[in-house]
Amino acid sequence: MPNLLQEKAISPLSADQCADLLMDTMPLVMRAIRAEMRRQRPLDLSVMQFRALGFVRRNPGVSLSQVASYIGLTLPTVSKMVDGLVERQLIIREAAIEDRRRITLRLSAAGQDAVATAHRATQRQIAAQLAPMSGEQRIVVAQAMRTLRPLFNTDELDVLEDAENIKEE
């Protein structure tokens, strides 16, 4: 029996068929990446702390509220968690230039190192999973990723704002 995914790849797919395939595959890929990132995080960091560090890394200057919204925890809980990360010198908390009442967050050098180390280790593991593919198959995957990136490259903070607006409606 022919592989349905390979068969569909030969003939053109509708946008709906392509979306269905993407929705079936991407959660599996993301699950593998998240699991490996969890395995590679420094052992003394919780998953939530590590997620906060990753979010602050991607969005320097974010507020505590934005971190709380991203992680899905209450503001007091995230505030306490960030206090601990500040004490451990992984996050730098400072007053915003435009509004001294607003606090912004960015990673310290140690915080950047912690996230970068886990990222590199995860990348090596994902590369090992991709190694059995032929060079031609990896080219196809790379082309697909380069094609998809601009279509889905929305600002993480805009997505959070949109989610907050939906909750308020």
Categorize the per-residue pLDDT at 4 as very low, low, confident or very high, splitting at 50, 70 and 90. Answer: very low
| pLDDT score for 161 | 59
* Residues 130/141, Cβ–Cβ less than 8 Å: yes
Q: Using one digit for the tens of pLDDT, what is the confidence trace for 121-146? A: 989 999 999 999 999 999 999 999 99
Nearest alpha carbon to residue 81 among 115, 62, 100, 53: 53
Categorize the per-residue pLDDT at 160 as very low, low, confident or very high, splitting at 50, 70 and 90. Answer: low
DSSP for 2-48, written as a single string: --HHHHHHHSPPPHHHHHHHHHHHHHHHHHHHHHHHHHHS-TTS-HH
Return the exposure string of 34-45: e unless at least 16 CB atoms fall within 10 Å of the residue's CB, then b: eebbeebbeeeb
Q: Using one digit for the tens of pLDDT, what is the confidence trace for 9-62? A: 567 889 999 999 999 999 999 889 888 888 888 778 888 898 899 999 999 999
| Mean pLDDT value across residues 94-106 | 84
Nearest alpha carbon to residue 17 among 26, 8, 28: 8
| pLDDT score for 95 | 84
Q: Compute the mean pLDDT over every residue in the chain, rounded to the nearest whole number.
A: 85
Map tokens 């601990």 to a residue.
84
